[in-house]
Each structure stands twice: as C-alpha cells, then as structure tokens.
C-alpha cells in the first residue's frame, strides 16, 4: 500500500519509516512537489491533524495521513496544547517556549503534563484518527541535549530522566508519537489482510 505522510519534516518521515512493515510504502509531501506550509491554525490537535490530511486528500485524491502534537499541562488547563509550537509567540524558539512554561509553573506543586499526538488518516475517502499519549511531569529546569521541542523539561512517568536525556530509541519506545504510529500501523495491517 502507498501512503503519503503530510509532512515536509524528513526526521519524522525517517522515524515512521523505521516502524513500518515492508507492505506499507510512505512518502512525504516533497514527493508530490508540494512545498507549501499547510496552516495549523485550528483550535484543537485533532482538528489540525484532520485539516492537514483532508487538505492533501482533496488536492491530490490520494490516501494520506497527517499528525499533530501538543504538550498539555493539567494545572494550566491544558496549555500550551494546540499552541505548543508558538507558545511564546510566532517567532519564538523551543528555549523561549520552555522558559515561558517553567515561569508559569513557578511555585506550582502539581506539575503533571502529557504529550498528545493525533494522527488523522484518510483512507479510501474515509477519515480515521489514532491517538498517542505519554504522561509525565514538567521539570524545574532543562536537562539533557537530545531530542527537540520541550524534551529537556518533560520527565516521562516512571523515569528520573527527561526525554532529552534518553536515547532516540529509548524515547521511541514510550513516546506519544510512536504510540499513535503503532495504532496506525495495526489498523493498516488489518486493512491489508
């Protein structure tokens, strides 16, 4: 089965290709000569993922999936959530986003948080969604230099290290994205039998 992954992020493509059985062949948006940014301006992670997949499906009429991720902090009513990439402003970087979050949590005892990934798949004109969640807590300061985004301040449940202190393989064993991807793969495998 051929599928398009609605991303231009080659790291994400590589990460997901590693998990796929050989019957499933995926390519990214570059393979369609599509180099625009698909807007991610909906008010939920689910709607952003759905919009991206539906946008590409309606343009090319192909089977396609898209993902969207957010970090949700309970005591902040789910912030930064759908705004995770631009929490400290449109032109911000990961460091500024983390600094803003650490500041907001100063003196907060409850530091529980979770990463949530939603994958939207349009297969044979039907929409399906797959969710991956990893629970954890927000550290008081940054630790580690691996990974990306909020990894240096996210301590997954049952661990003493931040995501940024884990190897890529260790992170992939438990991460929100890999949980959602595994659900997607299982679903596709069933369709192929």
Binding region for ligand IMP (CB under 6 A): 68-70, 84-85, 94, 147-151, 163, 175, 177
Distance, CA of 107 to CA of 116 (rounded, Å): 25
Active site residue 68: yes
Catalytic residue among 68, 91, 145, 151: 68
Considering the complex, state which of residue 2 and residue 93 has its C-beta at the smaller distance from ligand IMP: 93
Specify the residue, 68 or 79, whose C-beta has the smaller distance to ligand IMP: 68
Contact 114, 175 (CB under 8 A): no
Under DSSP, is residue 16 helix (H, G, I), strand (E, B) or coil?
A: helix
Q: Which residues contact 55 (CB under 8 A, 6 or more apart)?
A: 6, 38
Phi/psi class of residue 121: alpha, beta or left (left: φ > 0; alpha: ψ in -120 to 50)? beta
- Of 20 and 144, CB closest to ligand IMP: 144
> What distance, in Å, lies between the first and last C-alpha atoms of the chain?
12
Output the residue with the shortest Cβ distance to ligand IMP. Answer: 149
Q: In the complex, what is the shortest distance from the CB of residue 27 to ligand IMP, in angstroms, rounded to a whole number?
A: 18
Residues with catalytic function? 68
């Amino acid at each position: 089965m051929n599928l398009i992954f609605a991303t231009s992020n080659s790291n994400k493509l590589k990460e997901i290709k590693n998990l796929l059985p050989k019957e499933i062949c995926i390519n990214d948006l570059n393979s369609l000569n599509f180099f625009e940014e698909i807007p991610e301006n909906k008010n939920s992670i689910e709607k952003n993922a759905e919009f991206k997949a539906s946008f590409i499906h309606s343009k090319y009429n192909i089977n396609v999936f898209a993902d969207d991720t957010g970090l949700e902090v309970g005591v902040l009513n789910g912030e930064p959530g759908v705004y995770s990439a631009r929490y400290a402003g449109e032109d911000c970087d990961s460091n500024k986003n983390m600094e803003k979050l650490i500041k907001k949590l100063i003196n907060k005892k409850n530091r529980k948080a979770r990463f949530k990934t939603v994958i939207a798949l349009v297969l044979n004109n039907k929409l399906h969604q797959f969710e991956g969640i990893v629970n954890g807590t927000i550290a008081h300061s940054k630790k580690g230099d691996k990974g990306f985004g909020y990894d240096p301040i996210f301590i997954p449940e049952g661990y003493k290290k931040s995501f940024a202190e884990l190897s890529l393989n260790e992170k992939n064993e438990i991460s929100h994205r890999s949980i959602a991807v595994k659900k997607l793969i299982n679903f596709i495998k069933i369709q192929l039998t």
